[in-house]
Amino acid sequence: MDISKWKSVAVKLEDHKIFLGICKIKKRSVSSMISKLLHDYVNYMASKEKIEPKILIKRLMNGKH
């Protein structure tokens, strides 16, 4: 696996089981569900700050939030 493109995280086993249940209901893979949740939250944050999500993403990726 190319570590410059993929990362892993540790979560509590109970949270992992809950998350897998949600993924099954929504018919999404774990990675696509994480991506969806992340982008939905970025859109929420951007709307609160009244800026474009692309601008917020750029700031977050540069560590300038």
Q: Is residue 34 part of a domain?
A: yes
- Flag whether 41 is in a domain: yes
Do the domain assignments include residue 24?
no
Residues 6+ apart with CB under 8 A from 56: 42, 45, 46, 49, 65
Question: ∠ at Cα 55 (44, 7), nearest 5°?
Answer: 75
Domain extent at residue 50:
29-65
In a domain, 11, yes or no: no
How many domains does one find in the chain?
A: 1
pTM of the model as a whole: 0.80
- Domain-embedded: residue 4: no
Each residue's pLDDT expressed in tens, for the chain with a length of 65 residues: 788 988 889 999 999 999 999 999 999 999 999 999 999 999 999 999 999 999 999 999 998 76
Q: How many whole angstroms separate alpha carbon 42 and alpha carbon 17?
A: 24
Could you tell me if residue 54 is inside a domain? yes
What does the pLDDT read at residue 33? 95
48 within some domain: yes
Residue written as token pair 């692309």: 54
For residue 62, being part of any structural domain is answered with yes
